[in-house]
Amino acid sequence: MSSTLSITPLHPSLGAEVVGIDLGRPIDGSTRQSLSRALADHLALVFHDQSLAPADYLAAASVFGPPMEQHYSQHHMPGFPMIGLIWHRNGQRPAERWHTDHTNRERPPAATILYGVEIPSAGGGTSVANMRAAYLALPEDERRRLDALTTFNSLDSDHTDTRPEDRERYGTPIEHPMVRTHPVHGSRAVYFHISKATHISGMTPEASQAYMSGLLDRMIRPEIVYRHVWRKGDVLVIDNRATMHRAHGDYDRRQSRVLWRIIVEGDRPCR
Ligand SMILES: [Fe+2]
């Protein structure tokens, strides 16, 4: 580990602040390894006071895996298609339901990385839930039930502005287990995206939605949630292999909230 890197937990269940690194500069091999391990252990990493041009940001994100294209191309940053703009003024609604990103991909992103470029004066946070802890807290019989289930995933059913070419490329249903083993940490976590899952294996779409919704209500408790309060210049790295996250839309829409998002390639989820 780099001699100046320090990692301090932010919440008893997940989240850690990383101090002593400028993500705008090249990152050496041992620091990259330390950061990958820290992400698998803490599930969310926060770096404050970063100042990143798009190309620097892409280079820093690659510590966690190769950046991959995001499927709503209407929100790509002009000139940098691997960076997505999260910004309500281009017609997006904050993603307020608990989810994990891009489950309709065969190899969904290992991590989602967000960079706070414009931050409202109050509200607009991002919460991250530890789905490893959520899995362990379920009754044994429900864990066994979930272990055997899979979801079929496509693009979000409730998005109306999806481009036909994105639907063509990314709309094919992909099956994933509802419980996945973390490839670095070795632990298991609950894994699904309620609005990308068309249904659960052996269940109707309606029963699938009701079951996932009930699971979220039972599983996600304050004890397993780190709520990130944004400051301009923050980078938040979220481990999608064992968490869910959501945005908070509780901010004044006359103010701007702009996050730059990068997702990085991961493994195919395995039981
Ligand atoms: Fe997301």
Distance 248 CA to ligand 1 centre (A): 11
What's the pLDDT score for residue 3?
Answer: 54
Please list the alpha-helical segments (H only) found in the chain.
Answer: 29-42, 54-61, 131-137, 140-147, 164-170, 205-219
Topology of domain 6-264 in CATH is: Double-stranded beta-helix (3.60.130)
Distance 96 CA to ligand 1 centre (A): 9
Print burial letters for 191-220: b (CB count within 10 Å at least 16), e (below 16): bbbbbbbbbbeeeeeeebbebbeebbeebb
What's the pLDDT score for residue 89?
Answer: 78
If phi over 0 gives left and psi between -120 and 50 gives alpha, with beta otherwise, what is residue 79?
left
Residue type, 77: M
What's the pLDDT score for residue 269?
Answer: 98
DSSP state, residue 130: E
Q: Which two tokens stand for residue 154?
A: 């496509």
pLDDT in tens, the chain (271 residues): 445 899 999 999 999 999 999 999 999 999 999 999 999 999 999 999 999 999 999 999 999 999 999 988 889 999 999 999 999 877 788 999 999 999 999 999 999 999 999 999 999 999 999 999 999 999 999 999 999 999 999 987 777 788 888 888 877 899 999 999 999 999 999 999 999 999 999 999 999 999 999 999 999 999 999 999 999 999 999 999 999 999 999 999 999 999 999 999 999 999 9
Distance 137 CA to ligand 1 centre (A): 24
What's the pLDDT score for residue 2?
Answer: 47
Distance CA 153, CA 151 (A): 6
DSSP state, residue 64: G
Distance 2 CA to ligand 1 centre (A): 31
Distance 104 CA to ligand 1 centre (A): 13
What's the pLDDT score for residue 48?
Answer: 98
Do 22 and 50 touch, CB atoms closer than 8 A? yes
Distance 176 CA to ligand 1 centre (A): 17
Q: Where are the domains of the chain?
A: 6-264
**Model's pTM, two decimal places?**
0.95
What's the pLDDT score for residue 4?
Answer: 81
Do 55 and 228 touch, CB atoms closer than 8 A? no
